[in-house]
Copies of this chain bind each other. A is one copy, B any other.
Amino acid sequence: MKIILDGMGGDNAPAAIVEGAVLASKEMEHQILIIGDQELINAELDKYKYNSEKISVVHATQAISNDEAPVRAVRSKKDSSIVKGINMVKNGEGDIFVSAGSTGALLAGGLFILGRIQGIDRPALATIYPIVGGIPSLMVDAGANTDCKPNNLLEFGMMGNIYMQKVLKRDNPRVGLVNVGTEAAKGSTLTKAAYEMLEKSNMNFIGNVEAREVPKGICDVIVTDGFTGNVILKLTEGLAWNILQVIKKKFTEGAKAKLGAALLIDKLRGFKKEFDYSEYGGAPILGVKGPVVKMHGSSNANAVKNTILKGIPYVEENVVDIIQNSVLEIEEITLSEHEKI
């Protein structure tokens, strides 16, 4: 297997990317091709002992930054690490593309270069959702599609269900639809119609889940439109940050509190780790004709390593093909719902 790694994406590129590649290559037999400015990348590689048969560099003269308009950047920067890397997956020169770069550019690149899987109306971004005190869930869509139709939510559920089983290795995952109430008749026009479709599927659909239950890990696959998914992710991040800041402040007010906090320092550190879910890998763009995985922009070497390693089952388990094969069920359900109208 050849894993194409974007050497130019993310806040810590290329240093953390290269270090992550070196770490990953020690734990697997597959090849890593780091794509980007070869001078910069080789300078980083020179800092480590590594097997040069397993890690090589592919030169790309351009890079796409987070500030660029994604569609325009993908259209114009043909020799950027993202465009070149995704093209290598398309041409069979690589099996998967992993990047900490611009989410928008990765989505646009996935759509324009690889294309949608036939029958999938809207590819989606699937991210790990942290469950404090538990194992994380997978949320689809995390922000690729702000306006959705009911069949899109069905697709998100089906694709997330497959990824959860094949890559995150959880059997019979519980699939839940984010809604304002648990009853079938609750919700917006979108969620009511999506409920009907999800219920007809062969998945382990547990029905509507209220946002209150999501952080408690009520389901393995959280199905939602990209607007709500983005709100859930960012609110979780902001609220957890704020709570921890206030705790930190309170725990350093006065000598008694400081002593108490000193005794609890291990526990407090352990708590922060609850939000570090990098061991579960990055966020796949599901629904395009090839594996593309987005890592967090601030990924460190360890997160890069983990994302590379999680890419192996993504490729070996033929997730893209399995999604392709599930399209028939999606189409049948969508059609039967349209006939009702």
Contacts and interface: CB of A to CB of B under 8 A. Distances in A.
A247 interface: yes
Interface in A257-294: 257, 259-264, 267, 270-271, 274
A248 to B, nearest CB: 10
Contacts of A236: 235, 239
A212 interface: yes
A242 B147 CA distance: 30
Instruction: Identify whether the interface residues of A are mostly helix, strand, loop, or mixed.
Output: helix
A314 B212 CA distance: 30
A121 interface: no
A208 to B, nearest CB: 12
Nearest to A244: B243
A231 interface: yes
Given A238-B211, A238-B214, A264 B260 contact: yes
**Residue in A178, A213, A214, A235 whose Cβ sees the most chain B Cβ within 10 Å:** A235
A188 interface: yes
Interface residues of A, number: 54
A132 B238 contact: no
Contact of A187 (B216, B227, B262): B227
B238 A235 contact: no
Interface of A: 131-133, 143, 146-147, 178, 180, 187-189, 191, 210-216, 226-228, 230-240, 242-243, 245-247, 249-251, 253, 256-257, 259-264, 267, 270-271, 274
